[in-house]
Amino acid sequence: MRHVLSVLVENKPGVLSRVTGLISRRGFNIESLTVGPTEDATMSRVTAIVSADELAYEQITKQLHKLISVHKISDLTNDAAIERELVLFKVCAAPDRRGEIIEIANVFRAKIVDVGGSSLTIEATGDENKLRGMEDLFRAYGIKEIIRTGKIAMSRNSKEA
């Protein structure tokens, strides 16, 4: 089972490695990880996606709670959460095919950020489904490189997550 964990931590050196070390130490792979400051400068938010069964997941969150540097943990998996990721695609694009690719990008409300002799670089944000859809379409043209930021997530309700 895939879990989206949103962890509010102290904004201090070493805290990220406490969090990731604890997860990996118990044998779980982190599929995606983002860290950034929050509205409170003393706090950072770690968003991690891990696959674990229910028992293991419960153990991870309980252990994370024990870290003194961890203030709050929210599970945004089942929550009606907003998930976003930013992706850069460098797609093979001979001059005669540029039009088609730009059209696809427009459909997904993505931006062309660089035009090269034989490639286009497209910036896209969205949830996993949308980005996967784009990737599938671009594959037909040949993808030279993909860079992704990792996911961030926020609960939809007004309650602080």
Partner 1 sequence: MSTNLSKPAAGASGGAADLSEDTACVEGTNTEGATNIEGTADREGVARVEGAADREGATMTGAQAVIASLEAEGVELVFGYPGGQAIRMYDALYDSVRITHVLARHEQGAVHEADGYARATGKVGVVMVTSGPGATNTVTGIATAYMDSVPLVVITGQVPRAVIGTDAFQESDIVGITMPVVKHSYLLQSTEELTRTFHEAFHIAKTGRPGPVLIDVPSDLAAEDMVFHYPTAINLPSYRPTYKGNAKQVRQAAERIRRAQRPVLYVGGGAIISNAADELRELAELVQIPVVSTLMGKGAFPASHELSLGPIGMHGSKYGNMALTESDLVIACGVRFSDRVTGRLSGFAPRAQLIHIDIDPAEIGKVRDPEIPIVGDLKGILAAIVTDLRKQGFEPSTGPWVCQVSEWRERWPLYHPGLGDDPAQIVPEVVMRRLSEKLDPYSSIVVTEVGQHQMWAAQNIMREVPRSFLSSGGLGTMGFGFPAAIGAAFGCPDKTVVCVAGDGSLQMNSQEMATAAINRVPVKVLVMDNRCLGMVCQWQKLFYQGRYAHTLLSDIPDFVKLAQAYEWDAEGVSSPDQLDAALDRMLAAPGPYLLNVRIARDQNVYPMVAPGAAIDNSFGEIDVEEGAVRVARCEQEAIGGAR
Interacting residues with partner 1 (CB under 8 A): 10, 13-14, 17-18, 21-22, 25, 55, 58-59, 62-63, 65-72
Nearer to partner 1, 14 or 99 (CB): 14
| Measured distance CA(9)–CA(64) in Å, rounded | 10
* Sheet-wide strand order for 30-37: 30-37, 43-51, 2-10, 70-75
Nearer to partner 1, 59 or 155 (CB): 59
Residue 72, token pair as written in the block = 């709050």
Comparison of 57 and 141: residue with beta carbon closer to partner 1: 57
Please measure the distance between the N-terminal and C-terminal CA atoms of the chain and give it in whole angstroms: 21
Cα separation, 33 vs 62, in Å, equals 19
Nearest residue (CB) to partner 1, 22 versus 137 = 22
Q: How far is the CB of 104 from partner 1 (least distance, A)?
A: 46
- Whose Cβ is closer to partner 1: residue 22's or residue 92's? 22
Q: How far is the CB of 18 from partner 1 (least distance, A)?
A: 6
Phi, psi of 93 (to 5 degrees): -150, 95
Q: How far is the CB of 57 from partner 1 (least distance, A)?
A: 12
**CB 62 to partner 1: min, Å:** 4
Q: Smallest distance from the beta carbon of 17 to partner 1, in angstroms?
A: 7
Q: Is 32 helix (H, G, I), strand (E, B) or coil?
A: strand
- CB neighbour list of residue 56: distance below 8 Å, 6 or more residues apart: 26, 28
Q: How far is CA 91 from the centre of its chain?
A: 21
